[in-house]
Amino acid sequence: MTRKFFGTDGIRGRTNQMPMTAEMALKVGQAAGAHFLRGAHRHRVVVGKDTRLSGYMMETALVAGFTSVGMDVVMVGPVPTPAVAMLTQSMRADLGVMISASHNKFVDNGIKLFGPDGYKLSDEDELEIEALIESPPALVPAEAIGRAKRIEDARGRYIHAVKQTFPARLRLDGLKVVIDCANGAAYQVAPSALWELGAEVTAIGVSPNGLNINEACGSTDIALLRRTIVDAGADLGIALDGDADRLIVVDEKGNVIDGDQLMALIGSSWHRRGALKGGGVVATVMSNLGLERFLQGEGLTLERAKVGDRYVLESMREGGFNVGGEQSGHIILTDHGKTGDGLVAALQVLAEMVLAGRPASELLNLFQPLPQLLKNVRFDGGAPLEAETVKAAISAGETRLGAGGRLVIRKSGTEPLIRVMAEGEDEALVGEVVETICEAVRTA
């Protein structure tokens, strides 16, 4: 069955337009709360958010929805998405909610849900919640309405948990690190954690005003980070997205390091220490063939999942893997958490730098990526991928790339975009194939 409201990462859209309205948030709170009312205990939900202006509106509506069906609410304020996952489990809550549109601009917002185990919900749970959204709410009697409270130490709890993932025998003394927090959820916790571990920290993107999240900063726009690294003579740059569940790393020369290179580093390093589980790494269909060939050379496998960090995690759990992620920078390390965590992944990279005593530019370029090109085509309604002209262009592209290349065409699960990705040995050919398919999609 097709989901109506949920995409690859919760419910997301432009604020004050369906499905991202206060009314919808109220219904989500009522539906998700009713779905997780199981057993006779007092039920609890943890609600966090990023720094976008609409977070206050969405938080208030969700709290009203949850309390109206008898669930107590703990509000933790602006914290990273992985902090909500961690707090949901540690506080023995029945449900966790993160209000965030991740890497999107402030005009968008979203609702991500976590189960009592700290994992994102399954497709089945989301379908059941969607059915409840479109049904009359199960309101409780006046005396059973839930209570709401705000806790102030959530950020401190998360900082402590993150530092526990860094090897106890190591320190970051002598390392200059630039951290770009995207004016988002990690604007306080990320610089603090790095400083407490001994790094000399230059923090940018740490002045949120509700409107500037992901604006000319963060993992989607690293120009400022690259300039700051070179100007400061820093050893490493870290760019988080708005809810800090993913990162992009920049070396001391200003070169960008994507999630594929990070997975190569962490996977191979953990393998040499006997800490890697599953005999390989889980990535998505978007990860570069160069990563797959590198892992094969290390005697490891690359398992590919659908795009979306929760699908990566599902494959990891099924196959017993403990390292996985996406090229975009979602890195999931199940020894340390239940979802992608940009700060935890960054600390693993810094630990490897300390242990190796080598600059990032040497340590983080483990393989030569094959020429790969991704372009997005925005569409307004309709089903362009069903057009015969588009199907013909895709078939012709696959033929031209041959056995040594790959073509991945998909509809975005978070935005009205068709994503067209090709890779192969011939960079010019890759470009031609992508542009031909993009033009067919635009015309359709």
Q: 175 is written with which tokens? A: 């390392």
> What residues contact residue 261 under an 8 Å CB cut-off, 6+ apart?
249, 291, 364, 365, 366, 367
**Is 102 designated active site?**
yes
Active-site residue among 102, 269, 287, 328?
A: 102
Between CA 173 and CA 374 the distance in angstroms is 39
Centre a 10 Å sphere on the Cβ of residue 368 and count the other Cβ atoms it contains: 9
Q: What distance lies between CA 157 and its chain's CA centroid?
A: 21
Please name which of 441, 443, 421 lies closest in space to residue 431, comparing C-alpha atoms: 421
404: three-class secondary structure by DSSP = coil
Please name which of 19, 87, 28, 17 lies closest in space to residue 59, comparing C-alpha atoms: 28
Centre a 10 Å sphere on the Cβ of residue 17 and count the other Cβ atoms it contains: 11
Asked whether the CA dihedral 198, 323, 327, 330 is positive or negative, the reply is negative
Name the CA radius of gyration of the chain, rounded. 22
31: three-class secondary structure by DSSP = helix
DSSP 66-84: HHHTT-EEEEEEE--HHHH
Please name which of 115, 15, 28 lies closest in space to residue 63, comparing C-alpha atoms: 28
Residues classed as catalytic: 102
